[in-house]
Amino acid sequence: MRVSQYHMPTLREAPAEADIPSHRLLLRGGFIRPLSTGVFDFLPLGLRVLRKIENVVREEMDRAGAIEVLLPAMQPREVWEKSGRWESFVPPLFRFQDRGERWYALGPTHEEVMTDLVSRDVGSYKQLPINLYQIQVKFRNEPRPRAGLIRVREFIMKDAYSFDVDRAGLDRSYDGMYDAYVRIFDRLGLPTTVVEAEAGSIGGSDTREFMLLTASGEDTVYMCDECGYKANAECAEVRAAEAVRDRSGHGEPEMVETPGMSTVAAVTEFLGVEGQQLVKTLIYVADEDKLVAALVRGDRDLNEAKLRKAQGAKDVRMATPDEIEKATGGPMGYSGPVGLGDGVLVIADYEIGEMEDFVTGANKADAHLVGVNLGRDFQPRQWADLRMASPGDPCPRCEEGFLAGHRAIELGHIFKLGTKYSEAMGAYIDTEDGSKAPIVMGCYGIGVSRCVAAIVEARGDDNGCVWPLEVAPFGVAVLQVEPDEAATKAAEGIVADLEAAGYEVLWDDRDERAGVKFKDADLIGIPLQVVVGKKLAAEGTVEVRRRKDKAQTLAAPADVVAAIGELAKEA
């Protein structure tokens, strides 16, 4: 491909809105362009990278025994109502009506449609296991798209769904996908870290994320420096604190007026205490039928997923002001554990067990209690790990370690879904013993377009992108920096030789200064470069270079293929 005939609009400067390195380099290199917030065009170079990543993913999925399908992005409301996610999916679905006023969603994921498909075509254990996947466009109604291709509203994803007769089958399918993911990220040149994860909107248990650790990531991963425990911040556990849990010997609590002080910040400032001396009481409703008062230290955040698990609930939500008033007798912002009736289950984060003489709400408008103590004033009915982990927290898996936080980008996610969707969507099979059973499912995603950005984050440098040969838009750039006829002829021959040897070649034949060509070749990150310059006339040689580490050698035009082959081994 001649650059003079190609569409490769590189930019000297990145637009001001580009907020992370990959965003800047992909815009500058002419790989992508924004159409609207969180929605991008893929230009020719970007599309070539995207297609190559897709091919790596496809080859490894096929090798693992998964079978490719293509399901619609436009999905009828009915399948989402069956699973119960029409209203509850987070972020909310992109929804629209057809001319007959029937509702549809633009699919953010395909559990519903895939399970529906299998429920119609699979009726016997003899047809299982099966693993179906697709590489397809997804839509997420993100409130704040950012970071270029990292958090977007429209993106390309590989999603696979395994269907097994039983749990043991699911375990095998899950392990097979795990191994395939390791191979995929290795081929993409992405050093990933596998962490324990929270299932979120998708549902299910036993989930792992494949993360790229990088300062520009927007997720946080906690890792133990001693035992190697690794988990997403959304689910990172904290070791239970040494708990006394009874300080009945202390003095009486005292009610103080706190007019209009319904937040932790207002109360602590007014009383002149630290957040660590206050217990936050958050009133929740579990599965729409149980009132729960969750206690965490004033400077901590409640982790709703942990609360949900501790309650064995499908769902928890914050109580409404009316429900709080009814449950506690006081308005929102003044709840406390002291004197709560049996109708509210008090559950405390382990850390509360270490506290003494603390401040709580008084279940009364404009009032708090100070000098509250466990044992004498109240005793939680349940203790649990309820708070969001924070840096320096004790590791849940070993005795010595502490958790350190790292920024990360999620690239892949594998889940054991179990029977959540097959039960909801009616995907049952006749089993070997003649009974009916729901199919046991797993699901496995990779953010394919996100990987384009992740590779740049992981491997880019100050001069531009550094693609591994496997996914580079072109393998070799031939930079003709002398315009004379001999140079043109030599470049032509080199391009023909390289193409005959199987390389994809970008021939920079533009009427531009050498510096511009060097800069562009580095910016777009072509892994191998051949410079046809002054040395051709003087010595009969051209320079052969590797982008990644600047390794270079001189070769006669006839020997370029061999020289490129040498450098390609490490590209």
Return residues touching Zn ion (CB under 5 A): 224, 226-227, 229, 395, 397-398, 401
Name which of 169 and 401 has its Cβ closer to Zn ion.
401
- Report the 10 Å Cβ neighbour count for 451: 30
Question: Considering the complex, what minimum distance in angstroms separates the CB of residue 289 from Zn ion?
Answer: 37
Question: Considering the complex, what minimum distance in angstroms separates the CB of residue 406 from Zn ion?
Answer: 15
Question: Considering the complex, what minimum distance in angstroms separates the CB of residue 296 from Zn ion?
Answer: 22
How distant is the alpha carbon of residue 219 from its chain centre? 7
Name which of 242 and 289 has its Cβ closer to Zn ion.
242
Structure tokens at 86: 């029409």
Name which of 227 and 367 has its Cβ closer to Zn ion.
227
Burial class (CB in 10 A: 0-12, 13-18, 19+), 269: exposed
Name which of 226 and 549 has its Cβ closer to Zn ion.
226
Name which of 1 and 194 has its Cβ closer to Zn ion.
194
Name which of 227 and 318 has its Cβ closer to Zn ion.
227
Question: Considering the complex, what minimum distance in angstroms separates the CB of residue 227 from Zn ion?
Answer: 3
64-100: buried (b, 16+ CB within 10 Å) or exposed (e) per residue? bebeeeebebebbeebbebbebbeebeeebbeeeeee
DSSP 394: B
SS3 content of the chain, % helix, strand, coil (to 5): 30, 30, 40
Question: Considering the complex, what minimum distance in angstroms separates the CB of residue 226 from Zn ion?
Answer: 4
Question: Considering the complex, what minimum distance in angstroms separates the CB of residue 231 from Zn ion?
Answer: 11
CA dihedral 365, 368, 374, 380 (to 10 degrees): 30
Please give the angle made by the CA atoms of 451, 453 and 454, to the nearest 5 degrees. Answer: 60
- Report the 10 Å Cβ neighbour count for 308: 17
Give CA separation, 255 vs 252, 276, 332, 365, 366, in Å. Answer: 10, 19, 17, 12, 10
Name which of 190 and 224 has its Cβ closer to Zn ion.
224
Name which of 225 and 570 has its Cβ closer to Zn ion.
225
Name which of 221 and 451 has its Cβ closer to Zn ion.
221
Structure tokens at 547: 């982008």
Name which of 195 and 282 has its Cβ closer to Zn ion.
195
Question: Considering the complex, what minimum distance in angstroms separates the CB of residue 240 from Zn ion?
Answer: 14
Interatomic CA distance for residues 202 and 421, integer angstroms: 10
Interatomic CA distance for residues 425 and 50, integer angstroms: 33
Q: Which of 268, 260, 256, 38 is nearest to 153 (CA)?
A: 38
Question: Considering the complex, what minimum distance in angstroms separates the CB of residue 224 from Zn ion?
Answer: 3
Question: Considering the complex, what minimum distance in angstroms separates the CB of residue 276 from Zn ion?
Answer: 24
β-bridge partners, 346: 293
Question: Considering the complex, what minimum distance in angstroms separates the CB of residue 387 from Zn ion?
Answer: 18
Give CA separation, 238 vs 234, 235, 282, 402, 490, in Å. Answer: 12, 10, 20, 9, 65
Question: Considering the complex, what minimum distance in angstroms separates the CB of residue 206 from Zn ion?
Answer: 20
Q: Which string of DSSP letters, residue by residue, matches 165-192?
A: SSHHHHHHHHHHHHHHHHHHHHHTT--E
Q: From edge to edge, which strands make up the β-sheet containing 103-106?
A: 74-76, 103-106, 94-97
Q: Which residue has the tokens 């299998």?
A: 118
Name which of 141 and 390 has its Cβ closer to Zn ion.
390
